[in-house]
Amino acid sequence: MMMRSSRFSDTIHVFTLTVICFTTLFSSSILVQGKIRRFKWEVKYELKSPDCFEKPVITINGQFPGPTIKAQQRDTIIVELKNSFMTENVAVHWHGIRQIGTPWFDGVEGVTQCPILPGEIFTYKFVVDRPGTYMYHSHYGMQRESGLIGMIRVSPPRTKPEPFKYNYDRSLLLTDWYHKSMSEKATGLASIPFKWVGEPQSLMIQGRGRFNCTNNLMTPQRSEAEVCNASNADCSRFVLTVIPGKTYRLRIGSLTSLSALSFQIEGHNLTVIEADGHYVEPFTVKNLFIYSGETYSVLLKADQNPNRNYWITTSIVSRPEKTPPATSVLNYYPNHRRRRPPTPEASNFQPAWNDTHPRLAQSLAIKARRGFIHAPPENSDKVIVLLNTQNKVNGYMRWSVNNVSYQHPTTPYLIALKHNLTDAFDWRFTPPESYDSGNYNIFAVPSNANATMSDGIYRLKFNSIVDVVLQNANTMNVNNSETHPWHLHGHDFWVLGYGEGKFNELEDPKRYNLVDPIMKNTVAVQPYGWTALRFRADNPGVWAFHCHIESHFFLGMGIVFEYGIDRVSDLPSSIMGCGQTKR
């Protein structure tokens, strides 16, 4: 069998090997060329016990979480990825990297590429065009939650220092963790009766959690010690060592499957300075709320009593607290790394899980940093209002947007559109750009919960300004509305406003922040609330926009935007090979 790696040269011809940008330095225009950073990754399952419970975990070159990619703005990243799974496909998304000019390397199976089959090698190649904190993860089914995750740090060029100072740079990736396999959970979600995935067994900081093995009721055919072993080195607590008096930049990212989190360090303030790759006006918090798909940088000053260690904690908000918090240790050098903080483990401040007000307050407090404000255009060309609901389709439980539940086709859209494969998906179906807001009660269980499935997509005008209002509503359970973090591929958007209740299209836009809104790639819509965002459709391609909760996107909570397909260069043949595509 010929492997796709042999098409490496095809990939290269569509994307010049060196990235050349013009920039103004010392008041004169000179040519700046980033470095090429090559990585060879082998992706496979290994039996590991990251929360003391043993299960197959995805590793990259033996590591979980995967290696942090460190690069400088304008560098070209080349990842040669070998799929060493025995039976599973894979695709990797570079979360927050806009893929300007390379939409085919966005890594979304069914949208931008065919999946990478077991045994194949696929080469991703893209430019990191902005400094900041980003992530990568699997975008194949719900595979992300099996552990294919990692961080990307992009530093600015030396000539453009950042507007804050710190002594050391550290990353902390937060996740939640299930003991059941992806296929067991997916089977339950796609069954009648519906079997919900439930709350995660553990939370993890940098891939380490601690499940209470005495609660372990699973796999009775194996001895408990074999399956869950509290002294396994895989689940020893992550330790962050700091030197008294020094300032640390902590890059905190969340790739949870389900949970919204609060993150806190006992006795220390956190000064927020960056969100999703954009500098924010610094503000100080005791705890940072973070949703799946978001990244923040905070400054931490090691300015407390240096004779002891402190708890670092992350806990669930927005869903009932069934999963215990994850803890790491902030170790003040030269105390011993393993010295237990003197306070009880859960004594750290933790906000109430069901109080949305402090979460909304944090979101409202974030503004673009003075001197780095990139104000949005005053008006938009189009407004799309997206009602988020839980529904039934033919008796199956689904999530929908304006009553349409998303399913992606077997032929990726990007290829279907570029190669004019007109029956690869439903080209004629135009998904609705609004819902019947006058008659819809967002506070009640839907009176008619039936929705339709479709693979139709939203087609935008190149360079148009698009507003999207995400409207939350009651689920199919009485008095229940959930938090949904929405992630847009290929763009950053301005966050124009948040509100409680139903969005009022005449009044609410008058309160939009058009002065100093932050730009992000992921934003939450709170229970029974709405969130408004604006973006410029200036990156031709096909882009997913979806709830970052794994099971919700799996159940149809997403849409796809297309525009400017005629401006997309020839596609590399490495992304082909499935559905109607030909290699």
How far is 143 from 126, CA to CA, in rounded Å? 23
Q: CB 499 → ligand ASC: shortest distance, Å?
A: 22
Give me the torsion for CA of 426, 409, 490, 398, rounded to 10°: 90
Interface residue with ligand ASC among 10, 51, 106, 482 (CB under 6 A) is 482
Q: Which of residues 25-54 bind ligand ASC (CB under 6 A)?
A: none
CB closer to ligand ASC out of 328 and 390: 390
CB of 354 to ligand ASC, least distance (A): 14
- Residue 45: C-alpha distances to residues 90, 140, 233, 359, 538 (Å): 12, 15, 18, 36, 38
d(CA 507, CA 504): 6
* Region binding ligand ASC by CB under 6 A among candidate stretches 83-91, 238-246, 416-424, 475-483: 475-483
Residue whose entry in the numeric block shows the structure tokens 């009721």:
217
What minimum distance in Å lies between the beta carbon of 89 and ligand ASC?
Answer: 24
Nearer to ligand ASC, 309 or 483 (CB): 483
Contact (Cβ atoms closer than 8 angstroms) between residue 126 and residue 146? no
Q: Give yes or no for a contact between 396 and 194, defined as CB atoms under 8 angstroms apart.
A: yes
Residues within window 532-551 making contact with ligand ASC, judged by CB under 6 A: 551
Footprint (CB under 6 A) of ligand ASC, residues 194-223? 196
Give the nearest distance from C-beta 318 to ligand ASC in angstroms.
Answer: 11
C-alpha to C-alpha distance for 403 and 385, rounded to whole angstroms: 12
Give percent helix, percent strand, percent coil of the chain, each to the nearest 5. Answer: 10, 40, 50
Task: Tell me the closest approach of the beta carbon of residue 486 to ligand ASC, in angstroms.
Answer: 15
Residue 390 Cβ, how far from ligand ASC at the closest point, in Å? Answer: 6
Smaller CB distance to ligand ASC: residue 166 or 194?
A: 194
In the complex with ligand ASC, the residue whose CB is nearer, 454 or 481, is 481
Residue nearest to ligand ASC (CB): 196
**How far apart are CB 210 and ligand ASC at their closest, in Å?**
25
Return d(Cα 182, Cα 551) in angstroms, integer.
10
Note whether 475 binds ligand ASC by CB under 6 A: yes
Instruction: Please say whether the dihedral angle defined by the alpha carbons of residues 117, 118, 120 and 121, taken in this order, is positive or negative.
Output: positive
| Contact status: 562 vs ligand ASC (CB under 6 A) | no
Pinpoint the alpha helices (H) of 86-190. Answer: 182-189
DSSP type of residue 183: H
Helix (H, G, I), strand (E, B) or coil at 325: coil
CB closer to ligand ASC, 37 vs 195:
195
> Quick one: tokens of 513?
């922040």
**Residues pairing with 279 in the sheet:** 274
Is 364 in contact with 357 (CB distance < 8 Å)?
no
Question: Is 145 within 8 Å of 64 (Cβ atoms)?
Answer: no
Dist. CA 541–CA 431, nearest whole Å: 18
Listed residue (249, 79, 262, 56) closest to 156, CA to CA: 249
Q: Which is nearer to ligand ASC, 278 or 487 (CB)?
A: 487
Beta carbon of residue 240, minimum distance to ligand ASC (angstroms, whole number):
32
292 binds ligand ASC (CB under 6 A): no
Helix (H, G, I), strand (E, B) or coil at 384: strand
Which one of the spans 79-87, 96-104, 442-450, 474-482 is the region binding ligand ASC (CB under 6 A)? 474-482
Residue number, 302 or 393, with CB nearest to ligand ASC: 393
Q: Residue 145 CB, nearest distance to ligand ASC (Å)?
A: 14
Site for ligand ASC in 372-391 (CB under 6 A): 390
Residues 412-471 within binding reach of ligand ASC (CB under 6 A): none
* Shortest distance in whole angstroms from residue 401 CB to ligand ASC: 14
* CB closer to ligand ASC out of 196 and 283: 196
What lies within 8 Å, CB to CB, of 351 at 6+ separation is: 262, 287, 289, 317, 358
Residue 480 beta carbon to ligand ASC: minimum distance, rounded to whole angstroms = 7
| Closest CB to ligand ASC among residues 284, 441 | 441
394 near ligand ASC, rule: CB under 6 A = no
- Of 45 and 178, which CB lies nearer to ligand ASC in the complex structure? 178
For ligand ASC (CB under 6 A), the number of binding residues is: 6
Q: Is 477 in the site for ligand ASC (CB under 6 A)?
A: yes
Nearest distance, CB of residue 214 and ligand ASC, angstroms: 27
DSSP helix/strand/coil, 282: strand
Residue 369 amino acid letter: R
Task: Identify which of residues 37 and 319 has a Cβ nearer to ligand ASC in the complex.
Answer: 319
Comparing CB distances to ligand ASC, the nearer of 150 and 558 is: 558
What CA–CA distance (Å, rounded) separates 539 from 568? 9
The Cα 484–Cα 525 span in angstroms is 5
Could you tell me if 562 and 111 are in contact, meaning their C-beta atoms sit under 8 angstroms apart? no
d(CA 572, CA 574): 5
* Residue closer to ligand ASC, measured from CB, 196 or 349: 196
DSSP string, 118-151: TT-EEEEEEEE-S-EEEEEEE-STTGGGGT-EEE
CB of 323 to ligand ASC, least distance (A): 13
CB of 558 to ligand ASC, least distance (A): 14
Which C-beta is closer to ligand ASC: that of 485 or that of 541?
Answer: 485
The footprint of ligand ASC (CB under 6 A) covers 196, 390, 475, 477, 482, 551
